[in-house]
Amino acid sequence: MTMNLPWRCILLFGISLCLLAGLSAAPDRKPNVLFIIVDDLTTTLGCYGDRDARTPHMDALAARGVRFERAYTQFALCNPSRCSFLTGCYPEKTRVYDLVTSLRGGVPDVVTLPQLFKNAGYTVGRIGKVFHVPDPKTKLDVELVAPLARDNVILDELKIAQASEGDLSDVPAGKAKREKTYNRPYGPSSHPDRDFTDYEIATRAIATLENFQDKPFFLAVGFIRPHTPYVAPKAFFDLVDPQTIAMPAFYRPEGENVSLIPGAALRPNNNVFSLKAPDVRHAREARRAYLAATGWVDSQVGRVLAKLRDLHLDENTIVVFTGDHGYQLGEHGLWAKQTLFEEGTHVPLIVAAPGIKPGRRAGLVEQVDIYPTLAGLAGLEIPAHVQGASLQPMLADPAAKGKEAVFSTMVSTHTKLVGRSVRDDRFRYIEWDDGRGGRQLYDHESDPNELKNLADEPNQAGRVQRMHARLTDHVAAVTKG
């Protein structure tokens, strides 16, 4: 049965009141918000079932919050993804599809998520990487960028050290040398913690929490690793045994047949191994390095959460944790973001707050839902432009259902074709250039790793047609107005 709009509004208002009642013993104190975004983080967390991950602090946050097991990004690239969840609009609405476009071209008057809280009287700050392209209209109380050069210097030192030991297999030459482009941008370092980018971001976030503690605040903290380069203190590499790492089918002895995958889906310009394809040994090294970098950023997330607890701010703070999109770690031979496969679009999403009982939710949700969820939990009016759906019903009721389908968009890095994906409870359907550039269909019940493309199977023709229609309807709905 479809609930009409007034009743839905009444229901959400009631849920908001119930959740707000648990957020603070003092009814006149607004709940704080800590929004943690980790760059290029896919679901390689212990709480998401990754047996190779070493993420105790993220896992602890999940244990005291609600873990959404099937959350999906709307665009697996930093700028489009962040523009989407920081406005509550799908990429077709923001018209941001690359790393350089400002969201103001497509939605010049939209109120971003930090702006919403600033306008409501909150003290608002962003530390590290929150927006990818700075938004000139989002003026906050504290704005501290990420010191990105630190980890790049560490990577250069690693490569110089390798060369001095006689390993000349990854020394850049010519133009690549001037741009510091390495085929294998990863490795352990003996530098102390304080020399790394994410340590400085966590330190700045901790100082900001101390300054904000006496007033209602919204603080967004954007960590950088495990974005390339995958560098971290050596201790985090030592936690991961490369010989026991679970490898994707592409790197197993039986291999993977990628001949039925459309060319637009298989990007040749990877973020790692951009100059030469890896052998199995280097593929293992890269996965280990990504896991080590994830473990490292976990430790820095832990520092921020510990300060929140030490200041007793956790008693009245909504914590939302996510990655900005998924990431391919060798699946289908890919080492990058900017894909429409499961690994490229699946993201961690955790919401922890007083008054919300811990648990897991298996229903489908999207990152575009973060904006209305935070607004609703804080008792703020959700702006009319928001296209996501509040997750408050799912937070309040473990039996509440998720969405019927979730949607992601992509522009192929080499063919420049627009690709779109729709994922329902069982199937993922992808089409490039409205199907003219190829189609993909995967049955997650029998093929969770998306190894067999069913799009051209005669018995799936009806499903392909229905899912194509669903994509078409979705695009029309989110672009109008």
438 domain-assigned: no
**What is the DSSP-derived secondary structure letter of residue 381?**
P
Which residue range(s) make up the domain with 297? 5-403
454 domain-assigned: no
365 domain-assigned: yes
Tell me how far apart the alpha carbons of residues 230 and 289 are, in angstroms, rounded to a whole number: 6
300 domain-assigned: yes
Domains held by the chain: number: 1
- For residue 149, give both structure tokens: 């050069």
Given this model, what pLDDT does residue 284 score? 97
85 domain-assigned: yes
User: Could you tell me which of 59, 120, 24 has the C-alpha nearest to residue 312?
Assistant: 24
Given this model, what pLDDT does residue 2 score? 36
417 domain-assigned: no
411 domain-assigned: no
Number of alpha helices (DSSP H) and beta strands (DSSP E) in the chain: 14, 15
CATH code of residue 32: 3.40.720.10
Are 225 and 232 in contact by the 8 Å Cβ rule? The answer is yes
User: Could you tell me which of 194, 205, 195 has the C-alpha nearest to residue 304?
Assistant: 205
**If you compute the radius of gyration of the chain from its CA atoms, what whole number of angstroms results?**
22
Given this model, what pLDDT does residue 481 score? 61
Residue tagged 């250039």 (tokens):
433
Given this model, what pLDDT does residue 29 score? 80
Are 361 and 68 in contact by the 8 Å Cβ rule? The answer is yes
Local mean pLDDT, 10-residue blocks, the chain (481 residues): 40 49 55 98 98 98 98 98 98 97 96 98 98 94 93 95 91 75 95 98 98 97 98 98 95 94 95 94 97 98 98 97 98 98 98 95 98 97 97 96 98 97 98 98 98 98 98 96 61
- For residue 351, give both structure tokens: 């919401």
Which residues are designated catalytic? 78, 132
Q: Coil, helix or strand for 60?
A: helix
Given this model, what pLDDT does residue 23 score? 47
81 domain-assigned: yes
